[in-house]
Structure 1
Amino acid sequence: MKKWQNVTIKGTKDGLTLHLNDDCSFEELTKELDEKLSAGLLTNEDRALIPVKLETGHRYLTSTQQGELKALIRQKKQLVVEEINSLVITKEEADKQREKNGMVTITKIVRSGQIIEVPGNLLLIGDVNPGGTVKAGGNIFIMGALKGVAHAGCYGNDQAVIAASSMKPSQLRISDSLNRAPDYSNSEEKHEMECAYIDINNKIVIDRLQGLMHLRPNLTRLEGGR
């Protein structure tokens, strides 16, 4: 009796999960998948569609191969593929992740009416003047005075932070949260680098930079970090 080792079917509360061996050829995989799904192991003749999740391991599937698998599975009773998970990513996907998580360094003064936006983290060596705006998908670090608008985590990252040598913003935004920094009188003016982050109450707070290592330990794991 043949042992099927290239395809393993597991039922879950959300449907079916198919674990596909990543060592065999694609032809062997589809042949065994067809045999297993046709073997009468699944009975769902009069029910709604069953969602199927494919776990492909380290196998890279082209768009054509994904289409073949979806079509093959869809032919079997009421099965439909809703998700394909792979441990392999394309070079384009890797480049996008690197861009998203990387650091862009810019040296300039952001003047009124100017907007700088980067997909990942931003290191600005210079000031953000009133009316100027800096936006980043990740964190914002300003080696200068922040007097304009800073929006970190602008694509929904609520763990992002904003740090500046002089924190006097007209507006701070992190993800979907918004806050206007308090006005400092001359006697209250800060002379140390500060940071802004979202606290456990989902509010933006400004604190001394030294506390960030405990609040956001992953900051030290940016590209090039440990």
Structure 2
Amino acid sequence: MLAKNQFVTIKGTRDGLTLYLNDTCDVDRLLEELDHMLMSEHFDHEESLVTITVQLGKRYLHTGEREKLESIISKRSHFVIQSIESDVVLKEDAIRWKEESEIRTFSKTIRSGQVIDIVGDVLLIGDINPGGTLKATGNIFVLGHLRGTAHAGHTGDKNAVIMASYMNPMQLRIADFFSRSPDYESDGVYMEGAYVEDSGKIMIDRLHVVAKKRPDLSGFERSVLNG
């Protein structure tokens, strides 16, 4: 089914209805036309629940406009809004996404009692001493000795990884999962990484193995993993 008016196009799919709203006209005229279309006899006689996806194109709706759009759709009791999608990205969202996708590089030693908290991925050129902590919302790469605590994906990203030139940590954390250092004496291992496996355990393995486990890592990250 494909219903079209001057500013609104409604396309029926097996998943429900998609409303394509013109992004060049006045928003009040657009919402008025949408309200008129949804009041048509065809839509009023729908009995089963219908999911609605709204495509705004290159238009951003302010809070009041969005609420009016939702009200127009929701007053038809058989309509359920699944999503309202726009090609417009707000400046603050763009800045946040950029920060989260960037790799921040530091050259220092994180000493006992110090806690460094990073947004995005972090490449530390230096050591994490026992009692020191490095946290990141993304992946952690340590070109040095990891003897302290590293917490990757600390906002909940369980696909994050932790890499170190020398791995002998007091504790590893990825999202809400953690792994403590062994009770026995350990000399640590060189060029290894940690990831969360499907069972929910943090595993430590060679870098090329971790790269295969996380194929969605960026090109720079993969170059760090593969040497």
- After TM superposition, the score normalised by the length of structure 1 is 0.80
Q: CA RMSD in A?
A: 3.1
| Aligned counterparts of 1:104 and 1:98: Cα–Cα separation in 2 | 11
Which structure 2 segments of 5+ residues have no match? Answer: none
Q: What is the match of residue 65 of structure 1? A: 65
Secondary structure, counterpart of 1:217 in structure 2: coil
Cα offset for 1:201? Answer: 3.0
**Could you say if the C-alpha distance between residues 5 and 101 of structure 1 is closer, same or farther in structure 2, counting changes exceeding 3 Å?**
same
Tell me, what secondary structure is at the counterpart of 2:141?
A: strand
Aligned pairs, number:
220
Q: Indicate conservation of the 8 Å contact 2:11/2:17, yes or no.
A: yes
- Assess, with a 3 A threshold, how the Cα gap between structure 1 residues 197 and 95 changes in structure 2: closer, same or farther: same
Q: Which runs of 5+ in 1 are unaligned?
A: none
1:125 aligns with 2:107: no
Q: Deviations over 1:194-219 (max 9, x none)?
A: 11112233321111223333222322
User: Structure 2 vs 1, CA of residues 21 and 114 (structure 1 numbering), >3 Å: closer, same or farther?
Assistant: same
Matched, 1:200 2:198: yes
Does structure 2 retain, via aligned residues, the 8 Å contact 1:70–1:80? no
| Stretch of structure 1 that moved more, 60-69 or 89-98 | 60-69
CA distance in 2, matches of 1:141, 1:95: 23
SS of residue paired to 1:200:
coil
Distance 1:85 1:114, change over 3 A: same
For the 8 Å contact 2:166–2:188, the answer to whether it is kept is no
- Aligned counterparts, 1:25-174, within 5 A: 25-43=26-44, 52-76=52-76, 79=79, 81=81, 83-174=83-174
Q: 1:184 to 1:123 in 2, by over 3 A?
A: farther
Query: Aligned partners of 2:209 and 2:155: how far apart in 1?
Result: 25
Q: In structure 2, do the counterparts of structure 1 residues 28 and 175 end up closer, same or farther at CA, with 3 Å as the change threshold?
A: same
Does the 8 Å contact 1:20/1:54 carry over to 2? yes
Q: Tell me which residue corresponds to 1:217.
A: 215
- Give distance in 2, aligned partners of 1:185 and 1:40: 77
**Paired letter, 2:101:** N
Distance 1:216 1:78, change over 3 A: closer
Contact 1:102 1:222 in 2 (8 A): no
The answer to whether the 8 Å contact 1:101/1:121 transfers is yes
TM-score normalised by the chain length of structure 2: 0.80
